[in-house]
């Protein structure tokens, strides 16, 4: 068993998600919001956030993976599962667990923009801004985190620990 140190408690996450939900509900007042959850890590955050948004919400899911060579300069990602529905003319918000280098999200946001949504925003639970190599505009952030390997609340280490109710760091 790995030893995991709590970085952000369940209570802190819950409080922050309520705040984000309120902020998003105000910003989208009078509109409908189409959430795109990025599998698998974004799912835990998406469910909790969606419950705190008071404007009408619809949901879709997308699964992407980076190509083997992580230094691939195009930053291209492979679509494992595409959206079920068109996003054309919708107010769309992508929900992610973490933005690290920004490689995945910068590519994904560009790709989604070409599908002509009415608006396109990005909301991430965690951000490691100091790690950015590919610029990406983040509209809503839960927490900035240090450059450490994070697990829990959707984030995995070799597919484990996604179900932890807090955000932690593996102690080595
Ligand atoms: P990117 O470098 O911004 O493209 O991040 C891509 C993906 O790397 C994220 O969506 C996560 O799945 C994963 N990732 C980045 N940092 C961490 C971490 O600290 N713990 C677990 N997964 C991470
Ligand atoms: Mg991810």
Q: Whose CA is closest to 166, among 154, 72, 35, 71?
A: 154
Per-residue confidence band for 172, with pLDDT thresholds at 50, 70 and 90 = confident
Q: How far apart are CA 155 and CA 171, in angstroms?
A: 16
Mark 7-45 as b/e (b = at least 16 C-beta within 10 Å).
bbeeeebeebbeebbeebeeebeeeebbbbbbeebbbbb
Q: Whose CA is nearest to atom 16 of ligand 1?
A: 100
Q: What is the pLDDT of residues 92-122, one digit of tens each?
A: 999 999 999 999 999 999 999 999 999 999 9
Closest ligand 1 atom to 145 CA:
19
Active site residue 84: no
Mutate to test the pocket of ligand 1, among 98, 168, 170 (most ligand atoms within 8 A of CB): 98
Q: What is the pLDDT of residue 90?
A: 98
Average pLDDT over all residues of the chain: 94
Stated pTM of the model: 0.95
* More confident position, 131 or 2: 131
Q: What is the pLDDT of residue 69?
A: 53
Rg (CA), the chain: 16
Closest ligand 1 atom to 136 CA:
3
Question: What value does the mean pLDDT take over residues 10-16?
Answer: 98
Does the CA dihedral 78-80-86-92 come out positive or negative?
negative
Q: What is the pLDDT of residue 73?
A: 54
The structure tokens 């396109």 sit at: 120
All structural domains of the chain = 9-148 (3.40.50.2020)
Q: How far is the CA of 30 from the centre of ligand 1 (A)?
A: 34
Q: What is the pLDDT of residue 113?
A: 98
């Amino acid at each position: 068993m790995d030893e995991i140190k709590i970085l952000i408690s369940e209570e802190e996450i819950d409080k922050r998600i309520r705040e984000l939900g309120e902020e998003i509900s105000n910003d989208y007042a009078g509109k409908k919001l189409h959430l795109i959850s990025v599998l698998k890590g974004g799912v835990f955050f998406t469910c909790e956030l969606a419950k705190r948004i008071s404007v009408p919400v619809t949901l879709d899911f997308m699964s992407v993976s980076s190509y083997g060579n992580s230094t691939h300069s195009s930053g291209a990602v492979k679509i494992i599962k595409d959206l079920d529905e068109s996003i054309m003319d919708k107010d769309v918000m992508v929900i992610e667990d973490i933005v690290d280098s920004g490689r995945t999200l910068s590519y994904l946001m560009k790709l989604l923009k070409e599908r002509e949504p009415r608006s396109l925003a990005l909301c991430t639970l965690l951000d490691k801004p100091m790690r950015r190599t590919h610029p990406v505009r983040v509209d809503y952030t839960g927490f900035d985190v240090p450059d450490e390997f994070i697990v829990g609340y959707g984030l995995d280490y070799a597919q484990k620990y996604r179900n932890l109710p807090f955000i932690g760091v593996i102690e080595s």
